[in-house]
Amino acid sequence: MTTIHDILRRPVITEKSNYQAGDLNQYVFEVSIDANKQMIKDAVETVFDVDVARVNIINVPPKRSRRWRNRRIKVRRSAYKKAIVTLEPGESIDIFEGVR
């Protein structure tokens, strides 16, 4: 059985996600592979005490890359699931809580 904290793994912090959080009221999370939209909505509403308007899910495929020093060695990053959570107007999440 999965708990709320197993569903939400971590927030994704990039330039695009900062723009979405500031202007579009959307927040991006890496979520569990077996989570669906309703589970993600319930988890965000419970953990952050906000009202969720919409949840979009993106399955990010695995990618292969090369090492910096030796170009022959290939590294495979595993696939993961990403959720873009749109909040109701007036709601917000403080991702950097406690950071100075």
Question: What is the rounded average pLDDT of the residues 24-38?
Answer: 95
User: Higher-confidence residue: 12 or 74?
Assistant: 12
Whether residue 94 is contained in a domain is answered as: no
- Here the CATH number for the domain that contains residue 36 is 3.30.70.330
Whether residue 40 is contained in a domain is answered as: yes
The count of domains in the chain is 1
- For the stretch 33-80, pLDDT in tens is 999 999 999 999 999 999 999 999 999 999 888 777 776 777 888 999
Question: What value does the mean pLDDT of the chain take?
Answer: 89
Whether residue 18 is contained in a domain is answered as: yes
The residue segments making up the domain with residue 17 are 4-87
Distance CA 3, CA 8 (A): 9
User: Higher-confidence residue: 1 or 57?
Assistant: 57
pTM for the full predicted model: 0.84
Whether residue 97 is contained in a domain is answered as: no
- For the stretch 80-97, pLDDT in tens is 999 999 999 999 898 776
